[in-house]
Amino acid sequence: MFITRVGYFILPWSGLMLLSGCSPQEPAYPSEAAVQTYQCGALQVTTKRQDERLQLRFGEQEFLLTPAPSASGSRYVSAEYGAEFWSKGNEAQFSTDKFSLPLCVQQGTLPQQLNARGNEPFWLVNVNQDQALLRTPGDEQLFAPISRQTLNDAAPYSYAIELAATQQLLLDEAICYDSMTGQSFPYTARFKNAEKLWRGCAGDPQRLLTGVSWKDSRATEHVATLTFSSDSRVTGFAGCNYFTGSYTLSAEGLSFSPLAVTKRMCPPAAMDYENRLLQQLTQVNNVKVFADGTLHLRLGNGDYLQFSSYPLDLLAN
């Protein structure tokens, strides 16, 4: 990967945390409830109905949206911020004219589409709404309809997906690391297949990275930041200049595309920090996310960069 410096600014986005509330059990999704809490990637978002309007809260930020026509689901907008919130069932999307959040899922429920997998033996369950496909070496089984159940009423939640009388997928909201690749997943999985119990991980690894921003937790000044978006774009601050580019996240690891960087000059200490960081980003080959809100970007020599999540500011200029 190489780095190109260009003469424009890409501003970083900073992350957001939010109030949490009770969520319903699956499969009933009371989308008309007065207050809902959503998990939008690594970000919590709360919505509250106020007469016909909808209030969205992101930490100290608030958006007051008005209803708008929608072919399906519920839609609310704000012309002032170019904001739109659309929900259907237990899922929602929220965006402003500056940033789009990853898929929002009601707290205490599972995404409509979800994969779970494990090794030794290999197994893969593709869940898609009310059906699931089980893949094992040399065999495929389709189950429909399936049933979902939330097993407790407070976070962290646990879930059961019944495929058939002798097949059950159990999921816990706990970061899981693939036993072969080390990749981070948002759910720990167990699959009961007749008398056998197979272990693995589930969910979309990208949801652990998106919805918040990350700052260099080892720096005391000129602190670098990173923000991953769900469309595989990355923006950030390198200590003096801002940068933008793309990233690739797969079972093989994480890597960044060539980064476009602005051209501002800063004091020598800030420039030294920035040049070192940008060079290290070209060497990143993997990522690991931890339950305490820290993130490690692993370098080719075995070292790592350490970042901590912090509130995302959707109103940043």
Per-residue pLDDT tens for 197-231?
A: 999 999 999 999 999 999 999 998 889 999 999 99
Residue 167 backbone class (left: φ over 0; alpha: ψ -120 to 50; beta: rest): beta
Burial class (CB in 10 A: 0-12, 13-18, 19+), 277: buried
Radius of gyration from C-alpha coordinates of the chain: 21
User: What architecture does CATH give domain 35-106?
Assistant: Beta Barrel (2.40)
Maximum Cα interatomic distance, the chain, rounded to a whole number of Å? 67
What is the percent of the chain where pLDDT is above 70?
89
Q: What is the mean pLDDT of residues 235-259?
A: 97
Q: What is the pLDDT of residue 203?
A: 99
Structure tokens at 257: 């595309």
Q: What is the pLDDT of residue 33?
A: 74
- Please say whether the beta carbons of 139 and 193 come within 8 A: no
CB under 8 Å to 148, separation ≥6 — which residues? 26, 27, 109, 110, 159, 160, 161, 162
Domain 3-11+212-310 fold:
Lipocalin (2.40.128)
Q: What is the mean pLDDT of residues 280-307?
A: 97
Quick count: other Cβ atoms within 10 Å of Cβ 256? 20
- Please say whether the beta carbons of 6 and 260 come within 8 A: yes
What is the percent of the chain where pLDDT is above 90?
83
Q: What is the pLDDT of residue 311?
A: 78
Residue 268 reports pLDDT greater than 50: yes
* Residue among 167, 285, 268, 166 at smallest CA distance from 221: 268
Q: The whole model's pTM is what?
A: 0.87
Structure tokens at 7: 């003469």
Name the least confident of 60-69, 114-123, 142-151: 60-69
Q: How confident is the model at residue 19 (pLDDT cuts 50, 70, 90)?
A: very low
Of residues 33 and 157, which shows the higher confidence score?
157
Of residues 58 and 215, which shows the higher confidence score?
215
Q: How confident is the model at residue 60 (pLDDT cuts 50, 70, 90)?
A: confident
Residue 143 reports pLDDT greater than 80: yes
Residue 52 reports pLDDT greater than 50: yes
